[in-house]
């Protein structure tokens, strides 16, 4: 497991909002090669749709102020350091 600190998040965003935004990147074709093919064999290895999606989880740091949902930061958990390196590379840098 590898973790990435998320900062400068909109304080009005909830966990669902951040998860959906990250899924648009992490479930793109660029990241499908990182997903493990565990049980089912790949029928057509050239097809990106036959690959599994990268698993990840998001945890937002809760705000102590009642008018915001989070304090602008959180933690992204990824399956490996290799995925973390790709996510944080300048080409794929996530900016929320």
The answer to whether the CB of 58 falls within 8 A of the CB of 78 is no
Residue, of 64 and 92, whose pLDDT is higher: 64
Per residue in 28-39, pLDDT tens?
888 887 766 545
Residue, of 43 and 89, whose pLDDT is higher: 89
Residue, of 22 and 31, whose pLDDT is higher: 22
Per residue in 41-85, pLDDT tens?
545 555 555 568 899 999 999 988 877 889 999 999 999 999 999
36, 39, 41, 45: CA torsion to nearest 10: -10
- Residue 93 CA to residue 65 CA, distance in Å, equals 29
Residue, of 88 and 78, whose pLDDT is higher: 78
- Residue 8 CA to residue 36 CA, distance in Å, equals 31
pTM equals 0.77
Q: Is residue 94 over pLDDT 90?
A: no
Strand runs labelled E in the chain: 2-6, 57-62, 70-78
- Residue 51 CA to residue 56 CA, distance in Å, equals 16
Q: Which domains, ranges and CATH numbers included, belong to the chain?
A: 2-92 (3.30.70.330)
What residue spans of the chain are helical by DSSP H? 15-26, 29-32, 81-88
């Amino acid at each position: 497991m590898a973790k990435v600190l998320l900062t400068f998040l909109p304080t009005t965003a909830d966990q669902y909002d951040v998860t959906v935004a990250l899924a648009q990147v992490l479930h793109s074709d660029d990241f499908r090669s990182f997903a493990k093919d565990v049980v089912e064999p790949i029928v057509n290895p050239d097809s990106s749709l036959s690959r599994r999606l990268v698993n990840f989880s998001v945890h937002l740091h809760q705000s102590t102020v009642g008018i915001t949902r989070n304090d602008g930061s959180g933690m992204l958990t990824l399956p490996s350091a290799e995925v973390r390196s790709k996510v944080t590379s300048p080409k794929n840098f996530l900016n929320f």
